[in-house]
Amino acid sequence: MDPQEVGAWITANMLDTEAWDRATDQKQAVAVVQAERNLARWYPNISPMAVSIVAFQTVWELQGIDPALKYQKHNVKTVSDNGESISYKDGERPDVAPDVRALLGPTADELAEKEAAEAAQRQYGGALV
Protein backbone atom coordinates (compact mmCIF):
# COMPACT_ATOMS: atom_id res chain seq x y z
CA MET A 1 0.00 0.00 0.00
CA ASP A 2 1.25 3.47 -0.83
CA PRO A 3 2.51 5.35 2.28
CA GLN A 4 1.19 8.60 0.83
CA GLU A 5 -2.31 7.14 0.58
CA VAL A 6 -2.06 5.96 4.19
CA GLY A 7 -0.68 9.37 5.23
CA ALA A 8 -3.56 11.18 3.53
CA TRP A 9 -6.06 8.98 5.38
CA ILE A 10 -4.29 9.57 8.71
CA THR A 11 -4.24 13.34 8.17
CA ALA A 12 -7.92 13.46 7.20
CA ASN A 13 -9.30 11.05 9.82
CA MET A 14 -7.16 10.85 12.95
CA LEU A 15 -6.62 13.37 15.73
CA ASP A 16 -3.54 11.81 17.32
CA THR A 17 -1.10 11.93 14.41
CA GLU A 18 2.03 12.98 16.31
CA ALA A 19 3.84 9.66 15.81
CA TRP A 20 3.17 9.79 12.06
CA ASP A 21 4.05 13.48 11.75
CA ARG A 22 7.43 13.24 13.47
CA ALA A 23 8.53 10.11 11.56
CA THR A 24 10.77 10.48 8.53
CA ASP A 25 9.46 9.44 5.10
CA GLN A 26 11.55 6.28 5.30
CA LYS A 27 10.18 5.35 8.76
CA GLN A 28 6.64 6.03 7.54
CA ALA A 29 7.15 3.70 4.58
CA VAL A 30 8.64 0.99 6.80
CA ALA A 31 5.80 1.37 9.32
CA VAL A 32 3.23 0.87 6.54
CA VAL A 33 5.02 -2.27 5.32
CA GLN A 34 5.31 -3.59 8.89
CA ALA A 35 1.63 -2.88 9.58
CA GLU A 36 0.57 -4.66 6.37
CA ARG A 37 2.79 -7.65 7.14
CA ASN A 38 1.47 -7.97 10.71
CA LEU A 39 -2.16 -7.52 9.66
CA ALA A 40 -1.80 -10.18 6.95
CA ARG A 41 -0.49 -12.61 9.59
CA TRP A 42 -3.14 -11.75 12.21
CA TYR A 43 -6.11 -11.53 9.81
CA PRO A 44 -5.27 -13.81 6.85
CA ASN A 45 -8.87 -13.99 5.58
CA ILE A 46 -9.18 -10.24 5.00
CA SER A 47 -7.80 -9.23 1.65
CA PRO A 48 -7.39 -6.58 0.42
CA MET A 49 -6.93 -4.67 3.68
CA ALA A 50 -8.74 -1.31 3.89
CA VAL A 51 -6.61 1.83 4.05
CA SER A 52 -8.22 2.77 7.37
CA ILE A 53 -7.16 -0.52 9.00
CA VAL A 54 -3.58 -0.18 7.74
CA ALA A 55 -3.52 3.45 8.91
CA PHE A 56 -4.63 2.58 12.45
CA GLN A 57 -2.02 -0.18 12.71
CA THR A 58 0.70 2.01 11.14
CA VAL A 59 0.24 4.75 13.73
CA TRP A 60 0.18 2.09 16.48
CA GLU A 61 3.49 0.68 15.17
CA LEU A 62 5.05 4.15 15.15
CA GLN A 63 3.81 4.90 18.66
CA GLY A 64 5.53 1.71 19.81
CA ILE A 65 8.89 3.34 19.11
CA ASP A 66 8.35 5.53 22.19
CA PRO A 67 11.08 4.73 24.77
CA ALA A 68 8.51 4.41 27.57
CA LEU A 69 6.70 1.69 25.62
CA LYS A 70 9.99 -0.08 24.93
CA TYR A 71 10.68 -0.23 28.66
CA GLN A 72 7.20 -1.56 29.33
CA LYS A 73 7.57 -4.21 26.60
CA HIS A 74 10.70 -5.49 28.33
CA ASN A 75 8.89 -5.65 31.69
CA VAL A 76 10.77 -2.74 33.26
CA LYS A 77 8.68 -1.66 36.25
CA THR A 78 10.47 1.56 37.29
CA VAL A 79 13.01 3.93 35.76
CA SER A 80 14.84 6.48 37.95
CA ASP A 81 16.97 9.43 36.90
CA ASN A 82 18.41 11.94 39.38
CA GLY A 83 15.73 11.31 41.96
CA GLU A 84 12.81 11.34 39.52
CA SER A 85 11.05 8.06 38.97
CA ILE A 86 8.57 6.71 36.42
CA SER A 87 6.59 3.57 37.19
CA TYR A 88 4.92 1.48 34.52
CA LYS A 89 1.83 -0.58 35.12
CA ASP A 90 2.08 -4.33 34.78
CA GLY A 91 1.30 -5.92 31.47
CA GLU A 92 2.49 -5.66 27.93
CA ARG A 93 1.24 -3.33 25.26
CA PRO A 94 -0.91 -5.30 22.81
CA ASP A 95 0.50 -5.83 19.31
CA VAL A 96 -2.81 -5.17 17.56
CA ALA A 97 -4.01 -1.57 17.55
CA PRO A 98 -7.16 -1.11 19.68
CA ASP A 99 -9.05 0.42 16.74
CA VAL A 100 -8.13 -2.54 14.53
CA ARG A 101 -9.24 -5.00 17.20
CA ALA A 102 -12.52 -3.11 17.60
CA LEU A 103 -13.18 -3.34 13.86
CA LEU A 104 -11.87 -6.84 13.06
CA GLY A 105 -12.16 -8.68 16.39
CA PRO A 106 -9.79 -11.36 17.63
CA THR A 107 -6.84 -12.47 15.52
CA ALA A 108 -6.70 -15.82 13.73
CA ASP A 109 -4.32 -17.19 16.39
CA GLU A 110 -6.66 -16.12 19.20
CA LEU A 111 -9.62 -17.76 17.48
CA ALA A 112 -7.64 -20.98 16.98
CA GLU A 113 -6.62 -21.02 20.66
CA LYS A 114 -10.21 -20.47 21.74
CA GLU A 115 -11.44 -23.25 19.46
CA ALA A 116 -8.77 -25.64 20.77
CA ALA A 117 -9.72 -24.84 24.37
CA GLU A 118 -13.40 -25.45 23.61
CA ALA A 119 -12.59 -28.72 21.84
CA ALA A 120 -10.62 -29.89 24.88
CA GLN A 121 -13.69 -29.26 27.07
CA ARG A 122 -16.17 -31.19 24.91
CA GLN A 123 -17.48 -34.42 26.30
CA TYR A 124 -18.97 -37.07 24.07
CA GLY A 125 -21.61 -39.42 25.39
CA GLY A 126 -20.91 -41.92 28.10
CA ALA A 127 -22.61 -42.69 31.33
CA LEU A 128 -21.89 -41.89 34.92
CA VAL A 129 -21.43 -44.91 37.09
Sorting pLDDT into bands at 50, 70 and 90, what band is 67?
A: low
User: How many Å apart are CA 81 and CA 94, to the nearest integer?
Assistant: 27
Helix (H, G, I), strand (E, B) or coil at 75: coil
Give every CB contact of residue 16 below 8 A, 6+ residues apart in sequence.
Answer: 59
Residue 12 has pLDDT above 80, yes or no: yes
Average pLDDT, the chain: 85
Residue 68 has pLDDT above 80, yes or no: no
